[in-house]
Structure 1
């Protein structure tokens, strides 16, 4: 896998720092969309990415806001909930990955956490020929709105058993998905999956989903 390490991905006029890693013979590529107020250094997403790499997948952890936007958002919290902006950035990153010689042949999955899950689903609806699978962790897929019915990628929604409000929101979103989908409850987990063993369950389920639903590379 030629393109790896820290890169700067240009989407429109925004330069977005990203960390790309994974085995040289990767069978697929998973792009992470972190939740509100987080970054590509999110310890939970980094931990999941490591497990996916062990499963033979390349991973892309990226900041969906520029450093200047991130500084603004830290004060106003207005951009972290701009699902349209975040989804456009994700779709632009998917396009960029498709032009990279070492990555372009790999099928793409999206892993979204919290509000990032909504952005992932909107991006999946916008790029149905490129995005082959979606996993949502403690996500807010309901915020994807009308895009839910346009998603074609098989979608796995993982929610903590103690995260009752988010379970309800995921159930409502699942009712609008036309794509194959599954809602799985992780017993004893709260929203951030900080309880012992719960994040490991998320990583294992995500690995199974992506390895099942990402097609063999062209």
Structure 2
């Protein structure tokens, strides 16, 4: 599927992204990377490809500028700044909604990006129709969890004990419909054979049930 390089101007910052938008798309999925990752993450690219195969458009976006990313690699000061990440993700959601007004929008967040996705879902209930978290830190969304209205799928590796516990605790704060699904045998980054394919299939099924209207 053709991929368009896009540049988004959000809150005084220019961010780079890769947009794949098939004809007659079933919906759009905006990716939120986390923990030092970027739009070049092979894991999120693999999931995005699976979603593209199912007819979804995808936007993989760098939530940090190159300079911020370089600083973060040394200090880790931005990757846990959920306020910064969610503000930019919300701006990207607004940009997508203006570009494709008739398509339902879902969010896919990994690691700390999952927290940003949940904050954006709480801040944009009229836009976000579904959220999927992969190995995420939904606990970092804090009080925003109770404000999420979109259905939430929490995917965690079966051998990622600490993150399973954090997801269980965060799920108790959600008032929206949710499912916590453990991928047997998978660790935090889902490198095991077939693990990412299972993530992509589960995400595709979840987004396929997005309502077309709020």
Aligned match of 1:29: 28
Q: Secondary structure at 1:17's aligned position in 2? A: strand
The answer on whether the counterparts of 1:27 and 1:216 sit within 8 Å (CA) in structure 2 is: no
Deviation track 1:30-67 (CA, whole Å, cap 9, x = no partner) reads: 00001211100000000000000111100000000111
Q: Secondary structure at 2:57's aligned position in 1? A: strand
Tell me, yes or no, if structure 1 residue 215 matches structure 2 residue 181.
no
- The 3 A distance-change label for structure 1 pair 10 and 68 is same
Aligned match of 2:64: 65
- Mapped to 2, the partners of 1:35 and 1:201 lie a distance apart of 20
Aligned match of 2:15: 16
Q: Secondary structure at 1:121's aligned position in 2? A: helix
Q: In structure 2, which of residues 143, 146, 157 is the aligned counterpart of residue 149 of structure 1?
A: 146
Gaps of 5+ in 2: none
Aligned Cα RMSD in Å?
A: 1.6
The answer on whether the counterparts of 1:21 and 1:53 sit within 8 Å (CA) in structure 2 is: yes
TM-score of the superposition, structure 2-length normalised?
0.97
Deviation of the 1:12 alpha carbon: 1.2
Gaps of 5+ in 1: none
Q: Secondary structure at 1:159's aligned position in 2? A: strand
- Give the count of matched residue pairs: 214
The answer on whether the counterparts of 1:11 and 1:92 sit within 8 Å (CA) in structure 2 is: yes
Aligned match of 1:55: 54
- The 3 A distance-change label for structure 1 pair 8 and 57 is same
- Mapped to 1, the partners of 2:57 and 2:188 lie a distance apart of 26
The answer on whether the counterparts of 1:106 and 1:217 sit within 8 Å (CA) in structure 2 is: no
Deviation track 1:94-134 (CA, whole Å, cap 9, x = no partner) reads: 1111222xx22211100000000000000100000000000
Q: Secondary structure at 2:117's aligned position in 1? A: helix
Deviation of the 1:159 alpha carbon: 0.3
- Mapped to 2, the partners of 1:37 and 1:111 lie a distance apart of 16
| Segments ≥4 residues shifted beyond 6 Å | none
The farther-off stretch of 188-197 and 3-12 is 3-12
Aligned match of 2:128: 131
